[in-house]
Amino acid sequence: MAAAVVSFAVERLDELLLEEDRFLSGVGDKVRDVKIGLIRMQDFLSEADAERRQDESEIMNNLISEIKKIAYDAEDAIELSAMKVAFDSTGTKSPLSKALHLRQFRSHIIQVNNEIIKTRRILQIYGLTATRVDEDKFFSSFGALRQLRWSDSHLVEEFIVGLDEDINKVVKWLLNENQHCRVVYICGMAGIGKTTLAKSIYNYNAIRHHFDALAWVYISQQCKRREVWERILVKLIPPSKEEMAQILEMEDNELARRLFKVQQEKKCLIILDDIWSKKAWDSLSPAFPSENTRSKIVFTSRNKDILRVDPSGLLHEPSYLNPEDSWTLFQKKAFPIQYYPESTTFDNLKSLAKEMVTKCDGLPLAIVVLGGILATKETMFEWQRMHQYVGSFLIQERQTFAQVLDLSYQDLPVELKRCFLCLSQFPEGYEIPRTKLIQLWVAEGVVSCGYEIGRNEMMEDVAERYLGNLISRCMVQVGQRGSTGRIKTCRLHGLMRELCLSEAQKVNFLYIIGESQQNGITDFSSSYYLSDAWQIGEVRRLAVFLDQHVDQLIPQDKQVNELLRSLVFFHDKKCRIENWDLVKGIFTKFKLLRVLDLEGIKGLKGQSLPKEVGGLLWLKFLSLKRTRIQTLPSSLGNLEYLQFLNLQTVNKVSWDSTVEIPNVIWKLTRLRHLYLPNWCWNVADDLQLENLINLQTLVNFPANNCDVEDLFKLKKLRKLVLNDPRHFEKFSESFNPPAKRLDCLLSLSLKTDMLSFPNNVIDVENLVLGCPSLRKLHVEGQVMRLPKAPLFPPQLAKLTLWGCRLLEDPMVTLEKLPNLKFLNGWDMFLGQKMVCSQNGFPRLKVLVLSSLLNLKEWTIENQAMKGLHRLSISDCHSLNSVPDGLRFLSRLRELEFRWMPISFKTRLGTTGEDYDKVKHLKRLTTILI
């Protein structure tokens, strides 16, 4: 715990020492002494965490609090002093003033160092010594085992054991057409497997065939009625873009009536996961019919109070796993691949594991978490030590689960503890975007800059590896996945979030202001009560929950520490702020901010960002997304340490949606991720970007205001988006390998918000030759011909071709791409016949075809697209019949037809002539619109 906090300070001192000549001239040696002292105390604290001794006495707790204070004091003193030096770069201060400042700073640093020495001596008195155990002698045959365990660590599976009887019981009830079998309640304690059971039912073959439409929505303690309704409706009637816009504009009553009607017209299954109270259901119920419907609802809840919804419903309470199933579940997590070398060492390891599993008392989540911990252990010594800890902590009755969760945190290395603590700021049930989380971790200093200096490894890659590690340990859950299977969002299980908040509380890591209020119901999370008990004057990170109408960003009765490092806001979708002068107060008060997230706090249209933002020298992360700011000050160029900048302030494209950006972005040479507005025409000069040599992400490159040639100077660029179709052709022609290439580019998008596709001709061959590492490619515009398959980047996994209007069958080329997983073609082909041949598209999972207006015949040969999971065909009016080759797609899970001739719906009916082409498919969801 405390070690993680001290490590933040050590990492920050490392960064400042890299600029010793600028900021620490004459005192660098003393700062280095402080850093070394903090590292040694970090070792003491790590040992304290490992030995679980930090709670032994009030004296020890006080000492650890003192260490945290020392670390904060050192960081504050050095950053404040460096800021004074930075803002006096013009040399306006007299030599005497500078000498006095240096003397005071040196004296402060010496005092901090003396405190470190004194505290270390006291720690030694209490027997805390940072030992280093030589574990070499404990290595046995675990090298290969470790490789096997981690070979697929980025893939997350649902481990389903011992649920067959439970699944059959609930499925039988749901398939019963009796009106009294309308509701199912799956109730039980946290971690018992309620959600796992519900997911198994949701994906059960017979359920998929029986119901016309299915929807799954996570409720959580903070029940947001409108959001729940919208998510269910979108699942039940997958809307077009225009229909989605209508749904978002509906009044609550209209939305409820629409959802109510759909459940009467269709036979729907809706799963409301993790609903907490009858009161929450009362707020949702106006959108759910209780009669004249064949639709059904499954609730999962910790609270049996929900039974009052319909007392005639089925109550099912999952039981604890028996010893045999407990061991099977543990093996699936700790040993994902069956690997049992015949050795005494491995037999001993299994013996230790079985004893530890027994102490989990059959609680599934406790077993999985324990397995996640042990999956990271390589030596017999480590397993013996874990066995000792589990044995000592799990002796007391029925405290098993909390202690296993606590053990999962204590077992984390210090860098993962820092990652985990940073998750405490997010609300319960919040879908955390993976990309944003990784960028926040980098800005917070979670990842050491030493990875790039010493190991030539991007900090973002290290952060993504950290996230994968937390997921593998079952401390973070996967939320949504992208079209190629990559993690898109993640979230914390409710109890993991409570653990996260508890650990953050112990070290005053974060303060939370606000409460959740929806539809007249106020739900107070225990975490909010915990946060209110913290010492707000000591914390360095603040999360604020805002209402719809904002008259103050931070309540005046909260005496917030002016030395804040992170300030993030969460709010309702319709959050409004009348006066941006409130933001000016943040800029002037919190000078040491590194993270400032103002996303979605919408001001009046056309407002300007206060120039005082330029005083935040150490700012690394600034998001102004959807704030409606349309004029940015030149002082933005002062933020020389900025790594992440989101200027997508206006999300709707219109004639007055341009954003004025001064030509100062080129000064921000440390920028790694830059998100520009859709349109930024109102600049006095052309924007210069060639200096941004560290840039990895550039979204909405303003080709009308920038030189396309500048892009080839951005050697680290990984993601690039161009949105002005007038420059697509010029951009595609500008590549000239090997001199003009973007070797690191992984994602390239040439897309427009226009209502029609551009007529410009794009040279795709030049694009792929100039971007040899591409994994994602999105092209909008005419393409004369596709390059031959061997010319495409070998790792290309996602390809979107819109408005290409190819004359030759594109499948002949595209089916040869070895790693293509997602293909989306809209107005891609003008021909009449298309063929997917045998063994083509070996890894394709999703195929979306739209507006192939001339297509009359589509042949799918046997063994083509054999891994396809989802197929969507829309607006292909000339296609006479369902492709006969659908009968070969044995893994197809979702088949969707939109805006097709009525014959399609007729043919696919149980009496239709094409029904035999799909009747063999299991777990198939068919959508006909």
Q: Is the pLDDT of residue 412 over 70?
A: yes
**pLDDT, position 515:** 53
Please say whether the dihedral angle defined by the alpha carbons of residues 295, 298, 299 and 305, taken in this order, is positive or negative: positive
Q: Is the pLDDT of residue 734 over 70?
A: yes
In a domain? residue 885: no
Same domain, 326 and 365: yes
Q: Is the pLDDT of residue 836 over 70?
A: yes
Structural domain harbouring 342? 136-157+321-410
- Name the token pair of 770: 């100039």
Final residue belonging to a domain, choices 316, 334, 368: 316
In a domain? residue 435: yes
**pLDDT, position 155:** 36
**pLDDT, position 395:** 40
Same domain, 181 and 264: yes
Closest CA relative to residue 802, chosen from 784, 829, 766 = 829
DSSP result, 424-454: GGSPTT--EEHHHHHHHHHHHT-S-THHHHH
Q: Is the pLDDT of residue 535 over 60?
A: no
Specify whether the backbone of 892 is left (phi greater than 0), alpha (psi in -120 to 50) or beta. beta
For the stretch 742-790, pLDDT in tens is: 999 999 999 987 767 888 889 999 999 999 999 999 999 999 999 999 9
Do residues 885 and 862 touch, judged by C-beta distance below 8 A? yes
**pLDDT, position 38:** 84
The listed range with the strongest mean pLDDT (152-166, 562-576, 586-600) is: 586-600
Tell me how many helices (H) and strands (E) the chain has: 29, 31
In a domain? residue 518: yes
Strands 489-491 and 477-478, sheet pairing: antiparallel
Give the integer Cα–Cα distance in Å for 757 and 850: 13
Q: Is the pLDDT of residue 599 over 80?
A: yes
**pLDDT, position 926:** 58
Least confident of 145-149, 171-175, 411-415, 920-924: 145-149
Q: Region 81-85: what's the mean pLDDT?
A: 80
How many domains in the chain?
Answer: 5
**Cα dihedral: 687, 690, 693, 698 (round 10):** 50
Do residues 632 and 608 touch, judged by C-beta distance below 8 A? yes
In a domain? residue 692: no
Same domain, 307 and 178: yes
Final residue belonging to a domain, choices 485, 506, 527: 506
In a domain? residue 704: no
**pLDDT, position 345:** 56
Q: Region 411-431: what's the mean pLDDT?
A: 89
**pLDDT, position 520:** 33
Q: Is the pLDDT of residue 399 over 70?
A: no
Q: Is the pLDDT of residue 706 over 70?
A: yes
Share of the chain above pLDDT 70, in %: 84
Do residues 201 and 171 touch, judged by C-beta distance below 8 A? yes
Q: Is the pLDDT of residue 220 over 90?
A: no
In a domain? residue 842: no
Mapped onto helix, strand or coil, the DSSP state of residue 273 is: strand
Closest CA relative to residue 51, chosen from 331, 411, 379 = 411
Do residues 623 and 595 touch, judged by C-beta distance below 8 A? no
CA 256 to chain centre: 30
Residue 527 confidence class, pLDDT cut points 50, 70, 90: very low
Quick one: 457 exposed, middle or buried, by C-beta within 10 A (0-12, 13-18, 19+)?
middle
CATH of the domain at 637: 3.80.10
- SS3 assignment for 515-578: CEEECCEEECCHHHHHHHCCCCCCCCEEEEEECCEECCCCCCCCCCCCCCCEEEEEECCCCEEC
Mapped onto helix, strand or coil, the DSSP state of residue 208 is: helix
Q: Is the pLDDT of residue 339 over 70?
A: no
Same domain, 5 and 107: yes
In a domain? residue 572: yes
Which whole-number Å values give the CA distances from 651 to 224, 679, 688, 779, in the listed order? 23, 10, 24, 21
CA 536 to chain centre: 28
Q: Region 397-413: what's the mean pLDDT?
A: 68
CA 521 to chain centre: 28
**pLDDT, position 639:** 95
Same domain, 85 and 141: no
In a domain? residue 741: no
Give the integer Cα–Cα distance in Å for 404 and 367: 9
Residue 905 confidence class, pLDDT cut points 50, 70, 90: confident
Same domain, 466 and 348: no
**pLDDT, position 657:** 67
Residue 433 confidence class, pLDDT cut points 50, 70, 90: very high
Closest CA relative to residue 827, chosen from 846, 849, 860 = 849
Same domain, 189 and 289: yes
For the stretch 374-395, pLDDT in tens is: 887 777 777 877 777 665 554 4
Same domain, 488 and 600: no
> Phi first, then psi: what are they for 19, rounded to 5°?
-115, 40
The listed range with the strongest mean pLDDT (126-140, 341-355, 648-662) is: 648-662
Same domain, 564 and 596: yes
Least confident of 171-175, 402-406, 532-536: 532-536
Residue 684 confidence class, pLDDT cut points 50, 70, 90: low
Please say whether the dihedral angle defined by the alpha carbons of residues 494, 500, 501 and 506, taken in this order, is positive or negative: positive
Give the integer Cα–Cα distance in Å for 680 and 657: 9
Q: Is the pLDDT of residue 628 over 70?
A: yes
Same domain, 472 and 574: no
Give the integer Cα–Cα distance in Å for 616 and 629: 19
CATH of the domain at 432: 1.10.10.10
For the stretch 121-174, pLDDT in tens is: 776 666 555 444 333 333 333 333 333 233 333 333 456 787 888 898 999 889
Q: Region 823-850: what's the mean pLDDT?
A: 96
Same domain, 74 and 152: no
Q: Is the pLDDT of residue 901 over 50?
A: yes
Same domain, 120 and 18: yes
Mean pLDDT computed over every residue of the chain:
81
Q: Is the pLDDT of residue 277 over 90?
A: no
- Name the token pair of 505: 């509380």
Mapped onto helix, strand or coil, the DSSP state of residue 513 is: strand
Residue 847 confidence class, pLDDT cut points 50, 70, 90: very high
Final residue belonging to a domain, choices 677, 696, 713: 677
More confident residue, 148 or 505: 505
